[in-house]
Amino acid sequence: MTFAELNLNPALVQALAAAGYNEPTPVQAQSIPVALTGFDLMVSAPTGTGKTAAFVLPSLQRLALAPVKNGRGPRVLVLTPTRELAMQVTAAVDKYCKFMRHMRTGTVLGGMPYPKQRRMLEQSLDVLVATPGRLIDFIDQGKVDFSRLELLILDEADRMLDMGFIEPVKRIAAKTPATRQTLLFSATLDGNIARLGRELLRDPKLIEVAGKQEKHENIEQRLHVVDDGSHKHRLLDHLLREECRDQAIVFTATKHGADRLADKLFHGGHEAAALHGNMNQSQRNRTLARLRSGAVRVLVATDVAARGIDVASITHVINYDLPKVAEDYVHRIGRTGRAGASGTAISFASSEDVRQLKQIERYIGQSIERMSVPGFEAKSPLRTEGGGAKRPGGRPGSGARRGAPQGRANAGGRPAFRGGSGRRNGTAPR
């Protein structure tokens, strides 16, 4: 199937072709025709399967028609859980509407000046992309007009639930016309997400798409047992120098931990920078820009970066600290292996992490293979495991990715930078 066969506007098909996209992904092929019929829709699909285009394209198709009602305010509202994801959605809208006339897009998110966003909301908009918290601020000030809203989209609804945004989302939805069409996209449709769907959507159609990304068959997953913080840092430094030849995201549990680790890596000769929620938007934008350009090779991040970052050159994800929520493990490792490429996900664990590790393995339905690197073996096995980490010899590379040559040392190589931008590529639109 091609995008042209989905009966999309020729201007959209032209923009997709210009971006190098010809065939829709499964989630796009199933979701777009249903969304175009006007039905409410609940969609579940793994990360990295092209969900963004699955709702952006039918939204733009709708906007090619005359508005149902004239006035100011948006015709389409997209709610996202994070600023990074909001910016990614905005970029996708701009990419796909490049051959459509008079399309106006606005973004409302925290960390940016209020006056500019306030002036933008006073105008007629086609698409408004927003994070719930900042949009509620403007609603409380009486600055948002939803009288002509035709389409409400909830992106990463499960993440909004995890971040405590569901009540703000309900408040926002209550301000929109009852006649609106609503599309909900999520990694899962279970439990609270299903209840939210029943509250906000009218007789929705359900679409659940599985794919190899769901089990991350293209990502090598492994676990290294560590004794303490010093051992963990020495192993991380070794892996970044000897194995990771391109770019990596290193996940930490706390914002302060991300700053400390990024500083330590930077002073150790790595092109490292931190990304977390305490940074203002301009700082986060600069860091992401440097990541995408390649000026930053190691991004040290909290889970704010687990969704919404799509950089094809990220070959490694390293869980320096295991996530507290098992589902976040899947979103973290999904930052590598994008667009069908292979990737490597490495997790560190000590005996203090056994409970979290068990929850993660139960959630993904598999054990993460224990491995070790010569000279960096743990002195003791995990507390509940008798055999400890797997000794080298059974796998080539002594813990390195199969077939990967032993990489260059970074010390004395390229100059180190702090800070983070990049091209996007791949076979399927996001």
Weakest-pLDDT range from 24-33, 101-110, 180-189, 379-388 = 379-388
DSSP result, 77-105: EEE-SSHHHHHHHHHHHHHHTTTSSS--E
Residues 6+ apart with CB under 8 A from 174: none
Residues 6+ apart with CB under 8 A from 167: none
Query: φ and ψ at 279, to 5 degrees?
Result: -85, 145
Residue with the two structure tokens 């997953």: 221
Nearest to 268 by CA among 152, 141, 409, 383: 409
Nearest to 422 by CA among 261, 299, 307: 299
List the structure tokens of 84.
């990074």
Identity of the residue numbered 193: I
Q: Per residue in 31-51, pLDDT tens?
A: 999 999 999 999 998 767 789
Whole-model pTM over 0.75? no
To 10 degrees, what angle do helices 132-140 and 166-174 make?
Answer: 40
Domains and CATH numbers, the chain: 4-210 (3.40.50.300), 216-371 (3.40.50.300)
Q: Per residue in 236-292, pLDDT tens?
A: 999 999 998 799 999 999 999 999 999 999 999 999 999 988 888 788 888 988 999
- In whole angstroms, give the CA distance from residue 230 to residue 244: 20
Nearest to 260 by CA among 241, 233, 285: 233
